[in-house]
Amino acid sequence: MSSSLLIVEDDSEEARRLEQALTRMGYRCTVAQDGDTALARLAAEQFDAVLLDLVLPGLDGMGVLSALTAAGDETPVVVQVTSAGLDAAGGAIRAGARDFVVKPAGALRLEVALTNAIALGRASGGSRPAVRQAGAVATPDNVIAFPSHAAQARAAGAADAAIGATFAHLDASGHARRLDQIEAEAIRFACHLYGGRMAEVARRLGIGRSTLYRKLAELDGAEVETNHQLEPSAAQFVAAE
Q: Read off the pTM.
A: 0.53
Q: Are strands 28-32 and 49-53 parallel, antiparallel or unpaired?
A: unpaired
In which band, very low, low, confident or very high, does the pLDDT at 195 lie, cut at 50, 70 and 90?
Answer: low
Tally of domains in the chain = 2
Residues 10 and 119 in one domain: yes
Q: What is the pLDDT of residues 21-49, one digit of tens each?
A: 999 999 999 999 999 999 999 999 999 99
Neighbours of 75 (CB within 10 A): 21
Q: What is the pLDDT of residues 64-110, one digit of tens each?
A: 999 998 888 889 999 998 887 778 888 888 888 998 999 888 888 89
Neighbours of 96 (CB within 10 A): 20
pLDDT above 90 for 128: no
| Widest distance between CA atoms in the chain | 64
User: Residue 61's domain spans which residues?
Assistant: 4-123
Residue of 214, 177, 68 whose CA lies nearest to 129: 68
Residues 113 and 178 in one domain: no
Distance CA 113, CA 98 (A): 8
Distance CA 194, CA 231 (A): 13
Q: What is the pLDDT of residue 173?
A: 67
Asked, for residue 138, whether it belongs to a domain, the answer is no
Residues 116 and 166 in one domain: no
Residues 110 and 179 in one domain: no
pLDDT above 90 for 241: no
We report the CATH number of the domain holding residue 119 as: 3.40.50.2300
Q: What is the pLDDT of residue 1?
A: 56
Q: What is the pLDDT of residue 13?
A: 93
Classified as helix, coil or strand, 122 is helix
Residue 84 is classified by DSSP as G
Mean pLDDT of the chain: 74
User: In b/e form, how buried is each residue of 35-44, taking b as 16+ CB within 10 angstroms?
Assistant: bbbbbebbbe
